[in-house]
Structure 1
Amino acid sequence: MHELQYDIPVLLLHNINPEWTSEEKQETGQDVAIFGNALNELGHSIEVVAVEDDCLADRLSVFNPRDYVVFNWCEELPGVPHSEPLIAAVMEKMGFVFTGSSYDVLALAHDKPAVKRILNEAKIPTPLWNVFDNTEAEDWNIFPSIVKPAHEHCSIGITSESIVTSPAELENRIAFVLDTYRQPALVEEFIDGRELLNAVWGNGKISMLPSVEMDYSGLTDLRDRLFTYEAKYVPGSRLYESIDMRVPVELETSAKAELERIVIAAYQATGCRDYGRIDVRYLNDVFYVIDVNPNPDINPYTSMTHAAAEVGYSYGAMGSRIVNLAAARHPVFSR
């Protein structure tokens, strides 16, 4: 990639849900300020746009799409379930160039069975799977397994109870997903191996940042060896405090090359743009893709931030590179 342009104006778009606690709102505000300041220190002018309701078009209407690249740090329109793709749809309709993947790819990521089919068709290793819209799962005989809502993200619906080891547990967990989330259940073979989070960036020329390993070595219970919602987002919880991030990852040179091949293949097969994260489990010399995230979090403490730092990118430079990738599609800032 060319030398980074630091004079590209950025609209930093993020969501704040009015239903969040004051602590959650404060934490989000701090993260946004840290990221905005990191970009600004490099030379990017920053306008912060907080999305607090479903009126995104109104919030953006005062800005000219020719004057900015939007950094899309939104995961939802507050109060609108499964609305992450809609944010991209609004910006596409209004003519804004924004970081990250398109509406189509963000919508695909919310359809886990569709992603699994793409991986299967591309011959990219992924755990054996099936989808159930009722509790009749007599034909499934692979245990342990993991049961997930088929159309959620951010580990929503994934707890220690998602791991099942018998037909009875499987039936009960499928019933829980059907009743709680009102959507089919995705059942996969549970790969009880090393978990590697792999940040990827680029368009055309794509590269993988150093892998980050979720270290479960201190957890002996099979059901705890899982990056659940609690483990990701609840500081002070047992799992949050028990799981460490390790970077760099210790792998043989040949294994690293195979991991990179699989991760980049998954990024390309699902149409990710600018940046994304491919989560993998490694067992018996096979890297299994377990999740494709085209809109990963990039707060100062996430795996992508740690991976970028490992190869010399400051927090601001990581963000600037993503801005520059998007700017290549901009009518004014492309070069």
Structure 2
Amino acid sequence: METKKLNLAFVYNVRHKKPCLADEQAVAEAEFDEPVTINGIAHSLRKLGHEVYRIEANEEAYLKLKNLKNKLDLVFNVAEGLQNHDREAQIPAMLENLNIPYVGSKPLTQALCLNKAYTKKVLAYHQITTPRFQMFYNPNEKLSRKMRFPLIVKPVSEGSSKGITNDCLVNNQMELYKKIGELIEKFNQPALVEEFLNGREFTVSLIGNDPVEVLPPVEILFDHLPNNLAPMDSYEVKWIIDNPESQIQTISCPAQLDYKKFLQIKKLCLRTKQALDILDWCRIDVRMDSEGCPHVLEINQIPGIIPDPKENSRFPLAARTAGYTYEEMIHKIIKAACDRHNIPLSPALEPAPEKATNWLVKTFSGQKAFKPI
């Protein structure tokens, strides 16, 4: 089969404001990428030899994609969508309509995974551990007797820690109902109330379909946070404390785990990917309970991939820890989609196959339970 460079549409949403809790536009755009990130991804796609057509995911995106339909081999989509609760499904639905192959999951999975409650219902059906939860459509509903404080209150259909501020961790009914009311009013959507797990937290990046490669887990560190911040991956921690100028270490990769615990987390993530029909790539947030049992918190269908290592973007950090360059990481994501669609790619672009296992040997080789692959 003849291989060639790809004609790629690169679809994205661009952020116009730096993260800031006091700026409503900045909070609204928390999921979007900054111009420097958009430029960096486009540069890497071109560096891999592809022809790149940049398309911002606004109201003009459909017509631009339609006009390019006969030129395109594949769409590299990192767009979060502009508005409404199923927004991550917008671009995939357009591409399904136009019959253009693309990177990432189908519209149903994209919409499902953005809704934390529906995601948790599917996980519960498949007996995949996730914290006990309750939905609140208005602040007058009664809290279930099964729910135990402390609780965390979240908007049900937001990503990138939007709406999950430090005061979302509540310890009594007064704090709970105050926060529920605030989130329902601000985000115009139900609030998800979840039991807060007091164990360690990780985020796990996955690439591919069959097989799936699990990259080194990233641990979210809370030990050195200011005393006024709760031990959780809040908006304050993710976007304000964790920045290139900060002296506070908020993440570690690879996470310090024994091999059996890593296998437990790996199995949990692979089962989650299969249960939700996730394609090509994702990042899964996991937190342990007091017994050390891992639970799925939520799914990042379109993970952030900021190129600058100083930014601590978690998916690229995991890939770097595994030994991949940024371009190799991008290539592996594209190849996962190309394999599904039978689109040929040059073997010359392939990273050395041993990179998939080198980090495992380096991290776990001293442990009795570890068996080299």
Same fold (TM over 0.5): yes
Partner SS state of residue 35, structure 1 = helix
Contact 2:152 2:193 in 1 (8 A): yes
> Does 2:307 correspond to 1:296?
no
- Structure 1 residue aligned with 2:10: 12
Structure 2 residue matching 1:151: 3-state secondary structure: coil
Deviation per CA, 1:253-305: give whole Å up to 9, x if none: 11111110001111111111000011001232200111111111112241110
Q: Alignment partner of 1:299: what SS?
A: coil
Q: Matched residues in 2 for 1:294 and 1:166: separation?
A: 33
Question: What SS is found at the alignment partner of 2:109?
Answer: helix
Identity %: 27
Partner of 1:38: 44
Unaligned residue ranges in structure 2 (runs of 5+): 20-25, 347-373
Tell me the distance in 1 between the aligned counterparts of 2:70 and 2:247.
Answer: 43
Report what 1:67 is aligned to.
72
1:324 alignment partner in structure 2:
335
| TM-score, normalising length: structure 1 | 0.88
Equivalent position of 1:156 in the other structure: 162
Match of 2:350 in 1: none
The verdict on how the C-alpha distance between 1:173 and 1:72 changes in structure 2, with shifts beyond 3 A counting, is same
Q: Which amino acid aligns with 1:299?
A: I
Structure-to-structure mapping, 1:265-280, within 5 angstroms: 265-280=271-286
Q: TM-score, normalised by structure 2?
A: 0.80
Change in Cα spacing, 1:259 to 1:21, as seen in structure 2 (3 Å) is: closer
Q: Is the 8 A contact 1:66 1:332 kept in 2?
A: no
Aligned match of 1:213: 219
Aligned with 2:135: secondary structure? strand
* Alpha carbons of structure 1 residues 295 and 249: separation in structure 2 relative to 1, 3 Å: same
Q: Which residue of 1 aligns with 2:174?
A: 168
Whose relative contact order is higher, 1 or 2, with alpha carbons under 8 Å and at least 6 apart? 1
The answer to which of 194-203 and 323-332 deviates more is 323-332
Shift in alpha-carbon separation, 1:275–1:65, aligned structure 2, 3 A: farther
Change (3 A) 1:126 1:241: farther
Q: CA RMSD in A?
A: 2.7
Q: How many positions carry a matched residue from both structures?
A: 326
Moved more, 112-121 or 55-64: 55-64
Quick one: distance in 2 between partners of 1:138 and 1:86? 34
SS of aligned partner of 2:68 = coil
1:88-127 aligned at under 5 Å gives the runs 88-127=92-131
The more displaced of 38-47 and 181-190 is: 38-47
